Chains A and B, each alone.
Chain A
C-alpha cells in the first residue's frame, strides 16, 4: 500500500470521526479503529478507491452510525455548544453597541458633559447602565444580562441540541 493510499484512508477516518462528535469518546475511538482496520484490509483486497467507494462516503456512514447508536432519540451536543457559545457573542455585541450609542448621544448633545446618567438598558434583556461623564469622557457600569436572558440561553441550548432526548424514558 502506498503512502498516498494510506493518507486517503486516514482522511476518510478523520472525516468520519469529525461527524461522530455526538457519540461518547470511547465509542468514537472504537469506530475509528474498526473502520480503519476494515478499510486497510479491503484496500489490500480490492484497491483503495474501490474500498472507499464501497464504504459509501463518510457523511452517509456517520449518519448510519449515529442512527445505530442514538436511534430516534437523536440529540446533538454540537448544536447545543454552538448555541451556548454563539448567543453570548452576538448578544454582547449588540448590547455593547446599544450602550455605546447611548453614550455617543450624550456627548453629541453636550461634548463637555459632566455628571451621572442612568439608562434602563434594552428592555427585559439587561439591568440599568450608569454612565459617569467628566468633561465629555465617560465610563459606565451595569448592563448585566437579566435572569430572563439566562433562562432563554439555557432553554435555547436545550431546544437547539434537542437535549430533552437524553432524559430516560418512562
Chain B
C-alpha cells in the first residue's frame, strides 16, 4: 500500500482517479474518499476531494442527485455524465502516454552510475 504521494503529482491526477472510481460505481463524497484510501491513496484528504468533485460537477463531467440516508442527512451522489465518460477515455490515454514517456527516460542507464544499473 502506498503511504505517501507527491501532493503536486496527486493534484494533477486526482480528477482522473475520481472519474475512474465514479465510472465504476456511483458514490457520495465520503465514500469516494474511503475508496481512494482502499486503493492506496491513504493520505488524500477529504478537504481536497470534495472541492475536486465540485470542480468536475461545474465542468459538466459529473452529475449529482440527493439520496436519503438512513443514518443522517441526505447524501449527494456523484455519477459520470456522457461528457465525463468521454473525458475519462481521453485523459486515460493521455496519462498512459505520459507514463510510458516518463518511464522510457527513467529506465535509461545513467552514464556515471558506478553500478551501471538503471535507477
Contact = CB atoms under 8 A, between A and B. Distances in A.
B47 A38 contact: no
B47 A55 contact: yes
A38 B29 contact: yes
A67 interface: yes
Interface stretch (B17-25, B71-79, B100-108): B71-79
A57 interface: yes
Interface residues of B, number: 20
| Chain A at the B interface: SS class | helix
B47 A56 contact: yes
B72 A68 contact: no
Interface stretch (B50-58, B80-88, B90-98, B110-118): B50-58
A35 B47 CA distance: 9
Nearest to A57: B47
Interface in B8-48: 28-30, 45-48
Interface string A28-49: 0011011111101110100000
A61 interface: yes
A37 B76 contact: yes
A65 interface: yes
A61 B46 CA distance: 9
B47 A37 contact: no
B52 A68 contact: yes
Contacts of B72: 37, 40-41
A67 B51 contact: yes
A65 B58 CA distance: 11
A56 B54 contact: no
A52 B48 CA distance: 13
Contacts of B48: 56, 64
Interface of B: 28-30, 45-48, 50-52, 54-55, 58, 69, 71-76
Given A30-B76, A40-B72, 9 more contacts: A35-B50, A37-B29, A37-B75, A38-B28, A38-B30, A38-B50, A55-B46, A65-B50, A65-B54
